[in-house]
């Protein structure tokens, strides 16, 4: 173990269907801790043996059935595993655990609801739930930000103009509507979370972590969005360095539509 702790967050879109891609990712990035979203597997069927074989001996799981599901795989010990219900939505969208890295630091794997197709809370229950989830983060994050903490995962929101391939064309598309981006930015700013990716690659740099499966938008037209995020609490933010987006993973055989995002934490 060196003097940096390498953390990866990745919406892997089924850990079972992409267990080999998980291996390719670890070979490439050598992470100490991996925060996964959309594992799509109940805890009992999670491929723990494979993970152990690959050195991830410490795990925190929160999966249930074919949808959603989050997990933390770690080479360093995980303490005080916790599952939080955010915004009253009980759907395996959060798990966290504490690592000892220059003192305790809590790592949260977060999976915000996607929100369906129509950005209308009246007609689209899923969109309403998504907003409720982000509203729920207002209270939830208030206590989380008080620790040395990282919140990382698929937020399903691209908050800034350079987080999408076309700000104008996506203003009415779920993930980039003001109803979402305003709420998310309010959570972040009011609590003091540092969006470390944007800190190191400030606007108007384009940063994307997701490219749709539908339409062959990748890599040609590059119609991506930055849906995956790493937030650091103020007390930890200065130790977070070397942010990276593993863009090439979108081109792998049988790729996830999301790519891994990496950060390294100094001790």
Interatomic CA distance for residues 9 and 152, integer angstroms: 6
Sheet containing 94-100: order of strands: 79-82, 94-100, 104-111, 149-154, 228-232, 194-195
154 is annotated as an active-site residue: yes
Q: Quick one: which of 3, 75, 8 has its CA closest to 243?
A: 8
- Among the listed residues 14, 50, 124, 186, the single contact to DNA using CB under 7 A: 14
Q: 34 or 240: whose CB is closer to DNA?
A: 34
Interatomic CA distance for residues 191 and 108, integer angstroms: 16
Q: 114 or 186: whose CB is closer to DNA?
A: 114
Q: 237 or 255: whose CB is closer to DNA?
A: 255
Does the annotation place 200 within a ligand binding site?
no
Verify binding: residue 47, DNA, rule CB under 7 A.
no
Interatomic CA distance for residues 240 and 235, integer angstroms: 10
CA torsion sign for 34, 35, 40, 45 is positive
Instruction: Let me know: does 92 contact 79? Beta carbons within 8 Å.
Output: no
Helix ranges (DSSP H) in 164-266: 178-191, 196-200, 234-237
- Among the listed residues 23, 55, 65, 104, the single contact to DNA using CB under 7 A: 65
Verify binding: residue 67, DNA, rule CB under 7 A.
yes
Interatomic CA distance for residues 185 and 176, integer angstroms: 12
Sheet containing 240-245: order of strands: 58-64, 67-74, 33-37, 4-11, 261-266, 240-245
172 is annotated as an active-site residue: no
Stretch that binds DNA, among 35-43, 70-78, 184-192, 233-241 (CB under 7 A): 35-43
- Among the listed residues 55, 66, 77, 103, the single contact to DNA using CB under 7 A: 66
Catalytic pick from 58, 94, 154, 208? 154
258 is annotated as an active-site residue: yes
Verify binding: residue 163, DNA, rule CB under 7 A.
no
73, 245, 255 from 250: Cα distances, Å: 21, 11, 6
Interatomic CA distance for residues 154 and 114, integer angstroms: 9
- Among the listed residues 31, 113, 119, 260, the single contact to DNA using CB under 7 A: 113
Verify binding: residue 114, DNA, rule CB under 7 A.
yes
Q: 17 or 85: whose CB is closer to DNA?
A: 17
Verify binding: residue 88, DNA, rule CB under 7 A.
no
- Among the listed residues 7, 33, 41, 110, the single contact to DNA using CB under 7 A: 41
Catalytic pick from 111, 163, 176, 208? 111
Residues 195-254 that bind DNA (CB under 7 A): 213-214, 216, 254
**For binding to DNA (CB under 7 A), which residues are involved?**
13-14, 16-18, 38, 40-42, 65-68, 113-114, 116, 126, 213-214, 216, 254, 257
Q: Which residues are catalytic?
A: 111, 154, 258
């Amino acid at each position: 173990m060196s003097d940096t702790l390498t953390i990866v967050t990745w919406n892997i879109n089924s850990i079972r269907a992409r267990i080999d891609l998980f291996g390719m990712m670890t070979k490439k990035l050598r992470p100490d801790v991996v925060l996964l979203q959309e594992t799509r597997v109940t805890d009992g069927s999670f491929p723990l043996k494979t993970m152990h074989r690959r050195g991830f001996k410490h795990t925190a799981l929160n999966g249930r059935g074919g949808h959603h599901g989050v997990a933390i795989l770690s080479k360093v010990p995980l303490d005080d595993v916790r599952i939080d219900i955010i915004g009253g939505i009980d759907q395996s969208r959060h798990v966290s655990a504490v690592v000892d890295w220059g003192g305790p630091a809590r790592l949260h794997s977060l999976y915000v609801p996607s929100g369906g197709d129509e950005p209308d809370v009246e007609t689209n229950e899923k969109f309403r739930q998504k907003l409720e989830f982000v509203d729920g983060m207002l209270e939830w994050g208030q206590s989380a930000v008080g620790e040395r903490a990282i919140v990382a995962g698929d937020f399903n929101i691209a908050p800034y103009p350079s987080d999408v391939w076309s700000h104008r064309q996506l203003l009415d598309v779920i993930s980039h509507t003001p109803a979402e981006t305003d709420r998310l930015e309010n959570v972040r700013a009011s609590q003091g979370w540092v969006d470390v990716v944007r800190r190191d690659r400030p606007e108007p740099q384009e940063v994307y972590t997701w490219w749709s499966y539908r339409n062959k938008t990748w890599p040609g037209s590059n119609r991506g969005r930055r849906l995956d995020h790493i937030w650091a609490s103020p007390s930890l933010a200065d130790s977070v360095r070397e942010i990276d987006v593993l863009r090439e993973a979108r081109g792998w055989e049988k790729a996830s539509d999301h790519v891994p995002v990496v950060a390294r934490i100094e001790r």
